[in-house]
Amino acid sequence: MPNTTSPVVGIVMGSDSDWPKIRAVAAALDEFGVLYETRMMSAHRTPEIVRQYATMAAARGLKVIIAAAGGAAHLAGVVASHTALPVVGIPVPTDLQGGLDSLLSTVQMPGDVPVATVGLGSGGARNAGLLAVEILALSNVELQEKLAAFKHQLTEKVQEKNAALQKSIGKTV
């Protein structure tokens, strides 16, 4: 992002064991040159730290918060209850039905406390980063251009793969 040396996205996670499962969010932000910070805090074990972080986030220059948690997965909702910034929730996979508990805890927010929730797994974490980029691009022409190029590359990749598939099965496109 142009002319900034401060993070504009906050990534918070409920446990240090979440990081290996969600690091794709950081990779997506890095791909677009979006600065971010990462913190570990727990909605249940450190509620005052979560409250302070969320209430001060906008004043510190953050524009989007991405919150990842597993199990009860209340972190995104608690963060959202303390800020007017967009919050993206990442349900972290667990041993209970592959993370269904995390998904439901993150996505089932009461009315008036929105949390955008992505899917489980590394695809979900990457999508959280891309969603943050899309939100930031609403007011950033450079990011709009990078996203347009990214979408164009996706189209080219799929077309190339389709051509290779058609060739492998003896068809022409």
The tokens 């077309």 sit on which residue? 159
pLDDT over 90 percentage in the chain: 90
Look at the domain 9-139 and name its fold.
Answer: Rossmann fold (3.40.50)
Whole-angstrom distance, CA of residue 27 vs CA of residue 138: 21
Is the CB of residue 88 less than 8 Å from the CB of residue 76?
yes
Confidence label for 3 from pLDDT (cuts 50, 70 and 90): very low
Nearest to 34 by CA among 67, 63, 60, 56: 63
Q: Which residues fall within 8 angstroms of residue 136, CB to CB, at 6 or more apart?
A: 1, 8, 9, 34, 63, 64, 143
pLDDT at residue 15 above 50?
A: yes
- Beta bridge partners, 11, equal 38, 66
Is the CB of residue 25 less than 8 Å from the CB of residue 128?
yes
Nearest to 87 by CA among 5, 11, 7, 6: 11
Whole-angstrom distance, CA of residue 144 vs CA of residue 148: 6
Per DSSP bridges, beta strands 87-92 and 64-70 are parallel
Whole-angstrom distance, CA of residue 82 vs CA of residue 59: 13
pLDDT at residue 82 above 70?
A: yes
Confidence label for 122 from pLDDT (cuts 50, 70 and 90): confident
Tell me the whole-structure pTM to 2 decimals.
0.92
The residue ranking higher by pLDDT, 122 or 146, is 146
**C-alpha 107: how far from its chain's center?**
14
Nearest to 46 by CA among 16, 26, 66, 24: 16
The pLDDT value given to residue 2: 45
Token pair in block for residue 168: 């492998």
The residue ranking higher by pLDDT, 72 or 87, is 87
3-class secondary structure, 14: coil
Q: Which residues fall within 8 angstroms of residue 70, CB to CB, at 6 or more apart?
A: 14, 15, 18, 21, 91, 92, 93, 94, 99, 101, 102
